[in-house]
């Protein structure tokens, strides 16, 4: 029985069915196979709290395109999937759920809380995975990993202990980003900077005289955005090259309210051009001040509790909220005459991306990774081209971070996450870092230990993702075969938070790069170019787009026009265009299948038949060039350029031209050889074009491919098309392009003259070159059809062609169409005669008005000018109509 496609393309009826079939047949699964070359991509693990958004949709579409492309090229393609435990994001979700039940996290206790967390992960952790499947993502789901599964936990512990033993991990007091609401340190990646209107408070500290008295005439003035931090000041600083303050060298100032003496230190960190050139130094609450403090051996004073209230170091302000303390301090300074002025000032303020609380830089005893040596291989790898960043401009961002590297705070004051494998002796406090709980203290012999309560930064575990997912620290066959991986696809916004950390972690633990290429994509913005956000209410749910248009249409939209590293705008009109393209492909395929005999064999493995006509060779040659160019583009990760070429080939060359060209041959059963050649070419070109399109639009291509032929069970495991020398028909390409140029010219003329397609006209092709005339003679059947010609005549001169014939000029020929064939002469003369009479009436009316002295004396000047302009236009039109009538009545 002949198989057919449904009359209309309905993605809802095919997508879930096809995906289930792919999964059931294990098409996504990759096993170690030494006879094949591996190609590996690791997924940027989405958070288990996550829901599919446009960024995920773009990121995973790009990965799926690459993995499907390589799979079809014959690689043993592994797309390693998994999810991230997302310490803070998940903990916040669970805490909120507990609050709704009236339960406090602390009352519940750590063990019970973790039980709830694992229950939460089990219930909600797979949501985004199911949504990725709806996108068509062909990950090896049999290998799905989780950053807190047993294997990943072992890897994290191994790395921590190894790096601590080598001196790369240490515990110390340094400035961290502190969230007063979540009560944890957070990474730079979790700090969002937003422009906020604030103030600059200009304050002066009195200088201390040589006799120890406080001067009432000599002051050091500076400006600050955080007056409350003065409680922790331990110095004021000036630039050593600033002559304004050379007399203050070696002196001290008095810290008001607190009455602490502060040294005036010289440090090149101070910008002489900013403000007064004086900076108050608070090492406990500013990362730059912390570094200044280290250079000058300054005391580090923390004035804040974990909830951002003032602690005992704040004296009488103890217990006050940071902003209430600010207000009280400013008021007291004003009363003391030490507040110079308050200036309105807008500046970037760091907030926690989860709870949007203003982050406090705060000195804390935390665990850190020493970065100065670890980062060196990561710098060298990119500089020497061992790792390639696409687009190359991302190197600037990369090196900007590596050149200004700071030690990495990896401890978090959370319960959900990898617990730090550090144990404190209950008797002497000795710290023991160990993979398991120590049995005896090496310092005092005590046998009781308490594990560090903190967990590790999520980025610490995800930095190991490319090799821990393949079985490291064990020497697995998968690790030997699939690692290093090939390409990382990710957004440019996490280049230093994740990408660089994976690179230096891989060099440290594996001795090589984790991937040879990083392909960065931009953000998906709304139609106005704005970042999608909840606050703007402009987010677009990819699942809604899939529901309305299908996953293929969404995928095509996200990649069309996409360039590495560039942001893109998303609007529904583009999705509609993608859906229209899907409909075009579907309808063209239905047309071809309807013309196939019931017992017809697929052309997929048949040799090129006899009887191919120039037009068949033209489309094969076009396909051949498209295959070559698209493959090259995809090898260079130019996915947007590649899909545009596939799109243009299918829509323009194949559907709009070739199918129309061969229709007369399909309907003519007298020439069986020509009919079979046309049908073979239609099938061959379509099947290969579907393969080129498959990585971008997997569902529709699979449905058509499997319906049209039975020799191969799935397009996704079929061979990628390759360039064939025997399909290079340059001469035939040139011939058909000549006919296309003529047809376009004829259609343009007919459109300009408003000639209906149903009106046929005789067409003369005139050229002094026999080879050009032969082109039109050979293509006569489809040329006449496409040119709406009643007949076509090829000749070397204009003999027999009417004087009024309309012409279309080509490079080596001119096409003429008799005017009378295009226009009904008597009807046109009648129409122009009526128009001439109407214009005569308008001219007479206008002439009468402009010769009327009464009108000229009373009408406004602009009204007269308007009437004169009308008269001029009437006259011009009248002259043109009259001239045309003379020509037609000759």
Annotated binding site for ATP: 534
Residues paired with residue 266 on neighbouring β-strands, in sequence order: 238
What CA–CA distances, in Å, run from 742 to 614, 785, 798? 16, 13, 17
Residue 707 burial (C-beta neighbours within 10 Å; 0-12, 13-18, 19+):
middle
Say how far apart CA 169 and CA 452 lie, in whole Å. 15
Q: Which two tokens stand for residue 442?
A: 């090496």
User: What 3-state class would DSSP assign to 71?
Assistant: helix
Instruction: Give the annotated binding-site residues.
Output: 534
6: helix, strand or coil: coil
Dist. CA 831–CA 817, nearest whole Å = 22
Helix axes 542-549, 572-594, angle to 10 degrees: 30
What's the Cα-to-Cα distance from 440 to each of 420, 432, 577, rounded to whole Å? 19, 10, 70
Radius of gyration of the chain (CA): 38
Residues 749, 750, 754, 757, Cα dihedral to 10°: -160
Please answer whether residues 677 and 613 qualify as being in contact, where contact means their C-beta atoms are separated by less than 8 angstroms: yes
CA distance 600 to 277: 86
Distance CA 756, CA 739 (A): 21
Q: How many alpha carbons lie under 13 Å from residue 93 in its C-beta half-sphere? A: 21
Of 797, 811, 655, residue with least CA distance to 737: 811
Residue among 204, 214, 200 at smallest CA distance from 333: 204
Q: How many residues does the chain have?
A: 890
3 state DSSP class of 795: strand
The answer to whether 93 and 105 are in contact (CB under 8 A) is no
Residue 558 to residue 542: CA distance in whole angstroms? 11
Q: Name the residue with tokens 């060779």.
A: 617
Whether 85 and 148 have beta carbons less than 8 Å apart is answered as yes
With H, G, I as helix, E, B as strand and everything else as coil, classify residue 422.
strand
Coil, strand or helix at 467: helix
Contacting residues for 424 by C-beta, under 8 A, at least 6 apart: 430, 431, 432, 449, 450, 451, 452
| Alpha carbon distance 571, 568 (integer Å) | 10
Say which residues have a Cβ less than 8 Å from residue 218's Cβ, sequence separation at least 6. Answer: 206, 207, 209
> Is the C-alpha dihedral spanning 378, 381, 384, 388 positive or negative?
negative
- The bridge status of strand 422-425 relative to strand 449-451 is antiparallel
Pairing relation of β-strands 76-80 and 38-42? parallel
Q: Which residue(s) pair with 863 in the sheet?
A: none
Cα→Cα distances 685→615, 622, 643, Å? 12, 10, 16
- Cα 169 to chain centroid, rounded: 34
Q: What span, in angstroms and rounded, lies between the C-alpha atoms of 248 and 253?
A: 10
Strand, coil or helix: 697: coil
Q: Where in 357-418 does DSSP place strands (E)?
A: 360-369, 388-390, 408-409, 411-412
Strand order across the 806-809 sheet: 789-795, 761-766, 814-817, 806-809
**Three-class DSSP category at 640:** helix
Q: Which residues pair with 785 in a beta bridge?
A: none
């Amino acid at each position: 029985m002949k198989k057919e496609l449904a009359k209309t393309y309905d993605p809802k009826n095919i997508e879930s069915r096809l995906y289930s079939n792919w999964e059931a047949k294990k098409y996504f699964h990759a096993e170690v196979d030494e006879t094949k070359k591996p190609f590996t991509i690791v997924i940027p693990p989405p958070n288990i709290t996550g829901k599919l958004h446009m960024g995920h949709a773009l990121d995973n579409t790009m990965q799926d395109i690459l993995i499907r492309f390589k799979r079809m090229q014959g690689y043993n393609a592994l797309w390693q999937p998994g999810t991230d435990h997302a310490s803070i994001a998940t903990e916040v979700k669970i805490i909120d759920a507990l609050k709704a039940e009236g339960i406090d996290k602390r009352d519940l206790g750590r063990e019970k809380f973790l039980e709830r967390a694992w229950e939460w992960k089990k219930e909600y952790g797979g949501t985004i995975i199911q949504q990725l499947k709806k996108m068509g993502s062909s990950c090896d789901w049999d290998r799905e990993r989780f950053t807190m599964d047993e294997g990943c936990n072992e890897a994290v512990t191994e790395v921590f202990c190894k790096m601590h033993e080598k001196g790369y991990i240490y515990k110390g007091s340094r400035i961290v980003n502190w969230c007063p609401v979540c009560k944890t340190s957070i990474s730079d990646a979790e700090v969002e900077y937003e422009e906020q209107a604030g103030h600059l408070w200009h304050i002066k500290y009195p200088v201390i005289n040589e006799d120890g008295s406080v001067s009432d005439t000599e002051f050091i003035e500076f400006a600050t955005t955080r007056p409350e931090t003065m409680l922790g000041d331990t110095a004021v600083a000036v630039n050593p090259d600033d002559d304004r303050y050379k007399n203050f060298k070696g002196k001290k100032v008095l810290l008001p309210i607190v009455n602490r003496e502060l040294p005036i230190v010289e440090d090149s960190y101070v910008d002489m051009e900013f403000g007064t050139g004086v900076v108050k130094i608070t090492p406990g609450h500013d990362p730059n001040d912390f570094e200044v403090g280290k250079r000058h051996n300054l005391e580090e004073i923390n004035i804040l509790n974990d909830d951002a209230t003032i602690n005992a170091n704040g004296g009488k302000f103890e217990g006050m909220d940071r902003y209430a303390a600010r207000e009280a301090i400013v008021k007291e300074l004003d009363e003391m005459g030490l507040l110079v002025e308050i200036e309105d000032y807008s500046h970037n303020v760091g907030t926690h991306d989860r709870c949007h609380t203003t982050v406090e830089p705060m000195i804390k005893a935390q665990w850190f990774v020493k970065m100065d040596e670890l980062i060196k291989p990561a710098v060298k790898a990119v500089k020497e081209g061992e790792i390639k960043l696409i687009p190359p401009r991302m190197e600037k961002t990369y090196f900007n971070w590596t050149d200004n590297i700071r030690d990495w705070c990896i401890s978090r004051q959370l319960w959900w996450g990898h617990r730090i494998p550090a144990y404190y002796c209950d008797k002497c406090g000795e710290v023991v870092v160990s993979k398991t709980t120590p049995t005896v203290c090496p310092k005092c012999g005590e046998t009781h230990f308490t594990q560090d309560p903190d967990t590790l930064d999520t980025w610490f575990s995800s930095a190991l993702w490319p090799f821990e997912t393949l079985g490291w620290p064990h020497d697995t066959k998968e690790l030997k075969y699939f690692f290093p991986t090939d390409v990382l696809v990710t957004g440019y916004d996490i280049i230093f938070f994740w990408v660089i950390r994976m690179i230096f972690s891989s060099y440290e633990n594996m001795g090589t790069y984790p991937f040879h290429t990083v392909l960065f994509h931009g953000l998906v913005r709304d139609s106005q170019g704005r970042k999608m956000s909840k606050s703007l209410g402009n987010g677009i749910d990819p699942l809604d787009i899939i529901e309305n248009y299908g996953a293929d249409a969404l995928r095509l939209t996200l990649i069309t026009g996409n360039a590495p590293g560039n942001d893109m705008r998303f609007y529904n009109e583009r999705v509609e265009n993608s859906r229209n393209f899907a409909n075009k492909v579907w309808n063209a395929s239905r047309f071809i299948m309807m013309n196939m005999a019931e017992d017809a064999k697929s052309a997929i493995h048949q040799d090129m038949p006899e009887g191919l006509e120039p037009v068949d060779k033209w489309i094969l040659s076009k396909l051949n060039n498209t295959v070559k160019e698209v493959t090259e583009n995809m090898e260079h990760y130019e996915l947007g350029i590649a899909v545009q070429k596939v799109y243009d080939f299918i829509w323009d060359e194949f559907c709009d031209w070739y199918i129309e060209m061969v229709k007369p041959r399909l309907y003519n059963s007298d020439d069986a050889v020509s009919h079979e050649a046309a049908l073979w070419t239609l099938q061959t070109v379509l099947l290969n074009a579907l393969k080129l399109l498959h990585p971008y639009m997997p569902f529709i291509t699979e449905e058509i491919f499997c319906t049209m032929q039975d020799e191969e069970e799935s397009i996704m495991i079929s061979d990628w098309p390759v360039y064939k020398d025997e399909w290079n028909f340059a001469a035939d390409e040139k011939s058909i392009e000549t006919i296309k140029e003529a047809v376009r010219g004829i259609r343009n003329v007919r459109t300009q003259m408003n000639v209906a397609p149903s009106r046929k006209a005789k067409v003369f092709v005139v050229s002094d070159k026999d080879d050009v005339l032969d082109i039109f003679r050979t293509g006569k059947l489809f040329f006449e059809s496409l040119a709406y010609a009643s007949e076509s005549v090829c000749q070397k001169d204009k003999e027999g062609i009417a004087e009024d014939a309309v012409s279309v000029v080509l490079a080596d020929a001119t096409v003429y169409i008799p005017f009378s064939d295009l226009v009904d002469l008597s009807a046109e003369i009648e129409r122009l005669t009526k128009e001439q009479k109407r214009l005569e009436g308008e001219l007479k009316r206008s002439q009468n008005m402009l010769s009327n002295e009464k009108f000229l004396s009373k009408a406004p000047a602009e009204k007269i000018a308007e009437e004169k302009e009308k008269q001029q236009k009437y006259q011009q039109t009248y002259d043109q109509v009259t001239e045309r009538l003379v020509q037609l009545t000759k």
